[in-house]
């Protein structure tokens, strides 16, 4: 595996931060959750109780192993947009994954690790011309498209590209449906494939958002036949991301569909672009209650408003897109089973819309200074954060066992 770690002692902290610059190497029997609780105890003795996350890099490696076992024919190209932390990218580079990039900055991030251009797909169907030119200069040849206008740009700026046609697929089961923005209809594919040929461009494959049923793979078979009829050598199927529901069940459906429509003897290479599946369970966040207000709701029932030092403008913006609110784990001991109240969780900014969900959650009565833990917040949290109103997002520290650290140290 070709990757340059740039030194394991590289500092990922801001000047003056009290956090360690190195990876936290967990001892025998240690866990990321224990590290979260240890850090909470440490910060509870200080007036500075800033929000933080602990990223379990071993969980990331475990998710990679699970993906490969469940989908042995499918090689993952990790979606960088999901979480672009240098340590996350380094671990995945060392494990040999490919990478799905959507911009020049993401290309630069991955290429700076020493990842070969052949392990990258520039998977944004609508790219700036300057970004296409950068990909051409750096030898990144695998690009997606879904329109004639995109073909014109590629023909001008990257004629040696190997193109992947993104098609529309039914994606109502996907966490984030994308069909309103991207994808070519089956009716348009024949024209696009012919137009690519006339422009001297090579189309090598088809992609779709996997948040759909197996019919999409059968549709790709039809587009492969269209491509071959137009003179293209079709050799790549890209399932993209958006794995919904129970992963093992979806993997079984995908494997059966591949066996039927793209059996192994066809020689078709199959890739996917998972993001959330890899990252969701990797990070655990700890936030502090910095304010509290009790109000009377309809019928005189008591409601509680908790103001946290992290919110949707920080690491929790993605929460507002989720169908059900996140109920955090309370880090506090009670002498008996506490009474629960309907609670609204607000972030720290002055924006009244800075709340963690539109619905209330049920929590016991807590005090200013108490801590809440949110597990499984590794996907689309850090990468969507901002410093609105002067509040920095949660700091992230990275934990690993000694074996994974050894893998990183040995990577060339």
| pLDDT score, position 246 | 72
| pLDDT tens digits, one per residue of 346-399 | 999 999 999 999 899 999 999 999 999 999 999 998 888 888 999 988 999 999
Q: 54, 57, 106: which is closest to 78 by C-alpha?
A: 106
pLDDT on residue 26: 82
pLDDT at 17: 45
**Among 189, 228, 350, 397, which one carries the catalytic annotation?**
350
Provide the pLDDT for residue 13. 42
SS3 state of residue 8: coil
Distance of CA 404 to the CA centre of its chain: 21
Q: For residues 193, 198, 201 and 205, what is the CA-based torsion angle, rounded to 10 degrees?
A: 10
- Residue 207 near residue 270, CB atoms below 8 Å: no
- CA dihedral (80, 133, 233, 191) in degrees, to 10, reads 100
Residue with tokens 């007036």: 47
Domains of the chain: 24-56+280-403 (2.40.37.10), 58-279 (3.20.20.10)
> pLDDT tens digits, the chain, 412 residues: what are they?
333 233 333 333 444 444 444 578 887 788 889 999 999 999 988 888 999 999 999 999 999 999 999 999 999 999 999 999 999 999 999 999 999 999 999 999 999 999 999 999 999 999 999 999 999 999 999 999 999 999 999 999 999 999 999 999 765 555 555 566 889 999 999 999 999 999 999 999 999 986 655 688 999 999 999 999 999 999 999 999 877 567 888 899 899 999 999 999 999 999 999 999 999 999 999 999 999 999 997 888 899 999 999 999 998 988 888 878 899 999 999 999 999 999 999 999 999 999 999 899 999 999 999 999 999 999 998 888 888 999 988 999 999 876 676 666 666 5
Clarify whether 343 is annotated catalytic.
no
Listed residue (208, 209, 189) closest to 197, CA to CA: 189
Q: What is the pLDDT of residue 404?
A: 74
pLDDT tens by residue, 314-331 = 989 888 888 788 999 999
């Amino acid at each position: 595996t070709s990757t340059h770690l740039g030194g394991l002692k590289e500092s990922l902290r801001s000047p003056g931060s009290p956090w360690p610059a190195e990876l936290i190497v967990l001892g025998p029997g240690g866990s990321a959750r224990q590290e979260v609780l240890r850090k909470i105890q440490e910060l509870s003795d200080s007036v500075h109780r800033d929000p933080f996350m602990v990223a379990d890099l071993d969980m990331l490696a475990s998710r990679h192993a699970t993906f490969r076992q469940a989908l042995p024919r499918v090689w993952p190209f990790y979606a960088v947009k999901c979480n672009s932390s240098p340590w996350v990218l380094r671990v995945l580079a060392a494990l040999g994954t490919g990478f799905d990039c959507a911009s020049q900055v993401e290309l630069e991030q991955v290429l700076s690790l020493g990842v070969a251009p052949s392990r990258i797909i520039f998977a944004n169907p609508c790219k700036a011309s300057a970004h296409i030119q950068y990909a051409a200069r750096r030898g990144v040849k695998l690009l997606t498209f879904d329109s004639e206008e995109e073909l014109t740009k590629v023909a001008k700026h990257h004629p040696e590209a190997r193109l992947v046609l993104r098609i529309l697929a039914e994606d109502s089961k996907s966490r984030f449906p994308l069909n309103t923005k991207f994808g070519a209809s089956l009716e348009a594919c024949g024209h696009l494939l012919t137009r690519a040929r006339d422009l001297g461009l090579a189309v090598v494959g088809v992609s779709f958002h996997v948040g759909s049923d197996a019919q999409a793979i059968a549709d790709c078979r039809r587009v492969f036949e269209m491509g071959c009829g137009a003179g293209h050598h079709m050799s790549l199927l890209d399932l993209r991301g958006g794995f919904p529901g129970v992963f093992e069940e979806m993997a079984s459906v995908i494997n059966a569909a591949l066996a039927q429509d793209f059996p192994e003897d066809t020689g078709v290479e199959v890739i996917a672009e998972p993001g959330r599946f890899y990252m969701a369970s990797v990070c655990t966040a700890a936030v502090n209650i910095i304010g509290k207000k009790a109000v009377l709701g309809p019928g005189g029932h008591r409601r509680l408003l908790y103001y946290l030092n992290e919110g949707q403008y920080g690491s929790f913006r993605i929460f507002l897109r989720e169908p059900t609110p996140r109920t955090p784990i309370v880090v506090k001991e009670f002498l008996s089973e506490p009474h629960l109240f309907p609670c609204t969780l607000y972030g720290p900014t002055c924006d009244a819309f800075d709340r963690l969900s539109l619905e209330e959650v049920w929590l016991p009565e807590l005090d200013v200074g108490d801590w809440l833990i949110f597990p499984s917040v590794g996907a689309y949290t850090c990468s969507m954060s901002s410093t609105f109103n002067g509040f920095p997002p949660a700091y992230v520290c990275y934990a690993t066992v000694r074996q994974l650290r050894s893998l990183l140290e040995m990577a060339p």
